[in-house]
Amino acid sequence: MLTCSQCLHANARTLKFCENCGGSLADVAAAERVADESEAEFMLLEVKKAKGAIGLVAILQIVFAVIWTLTDVVDTTGMVVMLGLGGAFAGLWAWCRSNPLAASIVALLLFATMHLADAIVDPSTIKNGIILKIFVVVVLVKAISAGLKHREFVRERGMA
């Protein structure tokens, strides 16, 4: 709503002049746009919170790949798989800067898939780091939901 500065009539967002008094709405619209942009920026920060969780997963994957290879817990194939996943999360971490919503969707798919697969192959792995797993999933789901809200807001307000 664009509130006319002269008569306080509430006008639709698309209008250029007040329908009640005929005064220009250009200044009100400009102020509204600035407010919208800062609100959108703020909403995007919520989405970018996924970055920390994704970075953490990347670091843990790579660190455990090295430790488990040195202590012979995994073979070369296992190491390549773990490093590949670590690299993928590192890539997603970088992607978060330009497209946090897409990166969060991919991170959730990848994270859930690898842990579900682990759980099926060896059910004893479910409890390993369960708090961390739940934390990562919650952060990613919240980021995706914030990303959808941001997207809806931007579209509604007609911002690029």
Partner 1 sequence: MGYREPLSFCGECGTAWTQGASACGSCGKPRVRATQVVKTGMSSGAGLVSALALYFVLLGTLLASYLLDTADFFDVLDSILIVDTIVVLIWAFVHRADLVGPLRTLGELRYWGIAVAAVPVTVAIAYANLWAAVHVVGTTNVDVLQLCINAGYSLPFLLLTWSLQPAVIEELAFRGIVFERLSAVVEPRAAIIVAAIAFTTLHMAVLSAVFLMCLGLLAGWLRWKSGSMYPSIALHLLHNAVVVVLMWTGVW
Site residues, partner 1 (CB under 8 A)? 9, 11-12, 14-24, 76-77, 80-81, 84-85, 99, 101-102, 105-106, 108-110, 112-113, 116-117, 120-121, 144-145, 147-148, 151-152
Write the DSSP assignment of 42-96 as a string of letters.
HHHHHHHTHHHHHHHHHHHHHHHHHHHHHTTSS-HHHHHHHHHHHHHHHHHHHHH
- Cross-strand partners of 35: none
CB of 42 to partner 1, least distance (A): 19
Shortest distance (Å) from residue 51 CB to partner 1: 16
Structure tokens given for 68: 């488990």
CB nearer to partner 1: give 14 or 71: 14
* Cβ nearer to partner 1, comparing 56 with 102: 102
